[in-house]
Every structure is written in C-alpha cells, then in structure tokens.
Amino acid sequence: MTMTNANGHTSDLDLELLHDGELEGSRKRAVEAHLQSCSDCAKKLESMGKLSRMIAVAAEERSANLEFDRFLSKVRQGIEKERTPSPAEALGVWLQEFFSFQKWIWVPSAAAAAAALVAVLWFALPSTQAAGSSQVASVSFASGSGIVFQMEENDGSTTAVVWVNE
C-alpha cells in the first residue's frame, strides 16, 4: 500500500524512495501503477531525476579543478612534521586533563585522606595532657580546612572527632 497525500496522490516520500531505488515489493508496484495514471506524480518524479542529474553535473564540474593529489601531499607533510610528545610531556597532559575533568573525585578524596592523616598523627604523637583534658586544633588542607577535637577520658581512653570543611 502506498502512502498518499490529501489529494490522493502518491506521497513525496514514496516518490523520493522510488527515485533513490529504495522502494520495494508491493509498495513499489503500487507507486509505479499510480504513476501510469497520474501525470502530476509522474512529472514530480521526472523533476526529481532532473534535479539529481543537475547536482551531479555541478559537483563533477566543480571537483574537476581540484587538485586532490596536492591536497593529500600537504596533509601527509603535516602529519610527518608532527612530533610525538616525550613521555614526560604526555604524562603532564594526562595529569592536567585528569585533575581538571575528575576534580569532583579527587578534591573530596584528598580532603578525606588529609583528615585521616591528621587523625592518625594526632593519636600517634605522645600526649602531654592531664587525664580528663581535651584539645582542639585547627588544620588546613589543600582543598579546605578542618578541626580536630580530642578528648581524653579519666580511664585513659581517647575520643577524637575530625570535622572537615570543603
């Protein structure tokens, strides 16, 4: 079955598909049968063919003066002139791209790692405080700051809280 427009003519899409050789089967036969009895649709298909031929001729005339060999030679010369970056340059570019595109991952990760390091060092250093005392220290990280609260209980146990501000 063919697609028809409001006037009962074959649709432009079916005519284009027939012109391009993409219409098949019963649909193709129906469009061809309609063209036998409809001069308007036949003229429209004929004008599509003329337009295609005009475009092909114009493209051929325009491309006749182009020097593809010279163009290809220039492209090859440009490729040969490009040098391969050294491993250090390649690593620098990779790191720059990684840190600029993955910022949402490494900034919080670096802050968390710095906070963990501060907490570990806080507990590893010997305490000179009296039992039952508490300590507060402000710390700075590359991507923010934080506060470490440490409280020593009377039984000798220590509780620490690390607060990280991004």
pLDDT value of position 164: 62
Residues 48 and 114 in one domain: no
Domain-embedded: residue 95: no
Residue 90 lies in a domain: no
Are residues 2 and 78 both part of a single domain? Answer: yes
For residue 27, tell me if it sits in a domain. yes
Of 17-21, 126-130, 148-152, least confident by mean pLDDT is 126-130
- Of all residues in the chain, what percent carry a pLDDT higher than 90? 20
Domain limits for position 28: 1-82
CA distance 124 to 155: 18
**3-state DSSP of 26-94:** HHHHHHHHHHHHCHHHHHHHHHHHHHHHHHHHHHHHHHHCCCHHHHHHHHHHHHHHCCCCCHHHHHHHH
36 and 106 together in one domain: no
Residue 23: how many other CB atoms lie within 10 Å: 19
Q: What is the pTM of this model?
A: 0.40
Number of domains in the chain: 2
The answer to whether residue 155 sits within a structural domain is yes
Same domain, 7 and 73: yes
Instruction: Tell me which of 107 and 164 has the higher pLDDT.
Output: 107
Q: What is the mean pLDDT of the chain?
A: 78
User: What's the pLDDT at 163?
Assistant: 63
Query: Are 3 and 73 in a shared domain?
Result: yes
